[in-house]
Structure 1
């Protein structure tokens, strides 16, 4: 019975936040006030509020209470592979900062190797960049690149912030992509730290390839993790 009440409270408050009946930055009633309102024990209310925190709808201020998080920022994503994320965000006027967070050789991954057309004995590197917009971490971009295609990738990879810029320096000019796949996942502990999110905040995972438009060579396989609690994504094709 308490679980049903807990879910009812969670759904009710979440619905009010989504509809704007409880505004951005607004302080929620105290646990005691909510317990009286819903006629349940205080612990039931606490569990419901913790769920809302995990889902990214509210946050706590030590000794002050719980507040509604700011409204989601609308972001237009390009799924065509013709323009880089950096270029797209700059065009839209966002303050984008990118940090290269790792360049590491991966263990054999049959799917990634197949997509890249790389033999099992050859090296593939994963280059990760953390994207931050207006001071908020938005995404982790992982690019899988074969050493056979880019012999200096181990050396040059740690300095890369934009893969498109890197490819242009290698002589490639125009880019396209094949099939783009979207799915939902949840963050690992490392991804939680990087994206400043809770374990139950869903991440949107976008998987695609970057292809040289002229030669049709596959330059990379890409896996991008986007936070779903701080942003709304427009995926309308350009």
Structure 2
């Protein structure tokens, strides 16, 4: 049985109108966020929490359920409840597609992962020619066929992002873009080498709850949302040359932008 750390948890306030199970959840959450319960640590058992707070087992279970729903803890059958390790945070900066990164032979994911001191990795890749969805087709001005590049990215061994790039087949077919490794600087560097100098990107970002497939792919805890980002790349002729559909674990990212004031 785990030992309740001295001073890790306080006592209930009988005068509060906040439900008892929420008071317990508040105290455990505070102990996690302040480091009294560290990442990977086992929480006190249900029996210990029942004894500490003088409440029923169901009340304790309701409190732990709140924390599981927030993605702070995970329950392991027969072992107990543990503080969930949090993935490294990567700043999604507004200059991540600057040409200087491509000129240095690095993708945006690699540049920002290295800046955060994390180890970037891509552990799965699928390449296929397919008919685009109506939304992708509209964003790319109506191609009948596209090349889809699907991959999953990890930081320090943890999955944080699943991404699919869609490129018109007349641009991608027969080029390094259709190869598993498109070369230094990634797809955008190859687009520019083929005459499609990039002019700007349009991005749409929203937060939502993940699909079951996304939960599995990103190994998300219950209650953790995702950031859904759709980016369209345009060349200097105003042609859309790529649509990138990205789903990111929301607890692994901070969106950071510099916006002009004029």
Q: Displacement, 1:31?
A: 0.7
Tell me which structure has the larger Cα radius of gyration: 2
Residue of structure 2 equivalent to 1:147: 169
Q: Displacement, 1:73?
A: 2.4
**Contact 1:188/1:199 (<8 A) preserved:** no
Q: Displacement, 1:132?
A: 0.7
Q: Distance in 2 between matches of 1:160 and 1:14?
A: 45
Aligned CA distance change for structure 1 residues 5 and 123 (closer, same or farther; 3 Å):
farther
Aligned CA distance change for structure 1 residues 158 and 165 (closer, same or farther; 3 Å):
same
Q: Distance in 2 between matches of 1:219 and 1:176?
A: 11
Q: Secondary structure at the match of 2:136?
A: helix
Q: How does 1:17-166 map to 2 (within 5 A)?
A: 17-61=32-76, 63-71=78-86, 73-80=88-95, 81-82=97-98, 84-104=108-128, 109-119=133-143, 122-152=144-174, 156=178, 162-166=186-190
Q: Displacement, 1:139?
A: 0.7
More RCO (CA 8 Å, sep 6+) = 1
Q: Displacement, 1:93?
A: 4.1
Q: Displacement, 1:223?
A: 1.9
Q: Distance in 1 between matches of 2:216 and 2:139?
A: 30
Residue of structure 2 equivalent to 1:206: 229
Residue segments in structure 2 that go unaligned for 5+ positions in a row? 1-18, 102-107
Residue of structure 2 equivalent to 1:192: 215
Q: Secondary structure at the match of 1:126?
A: strand
Q: Displacement, 1:237?
A: 2.9
Q: Distance in 1 between matches of 2:58 and 2:180?
A: 48
Q: Distance in 2 between matches of 1:88 and 1:175?
A: 21
* Higher deviation after alignment, 183-192 or 61-70: 61-70
**Contact 2:90/2:112 (<8 A) preserved:** no
Normalising by structure 2, we get a TM-score of 0.71
Residue segments in structure 1 that go unaligned for 5+ positions in a row? none
Q: Distance in 1 between matches of 2:171 and 2:68?
A: 45
Q: Secondary structure at the match of 1:141?
A: strand
Aligned CA distance change for structure 1 residues 175 and 22 (closer, same or farther; 3 Å):
farther
Aligned CA distance change for structure 1 residues 100 and 183 (closer, same or farther; 3 Å):
same
* Higher deviation after alignment, 71-80 or 188-197: 71-80
CA RMSD of aligned residues (A): 3.2
Residue of structure 1 equivalent to 2:28: 13
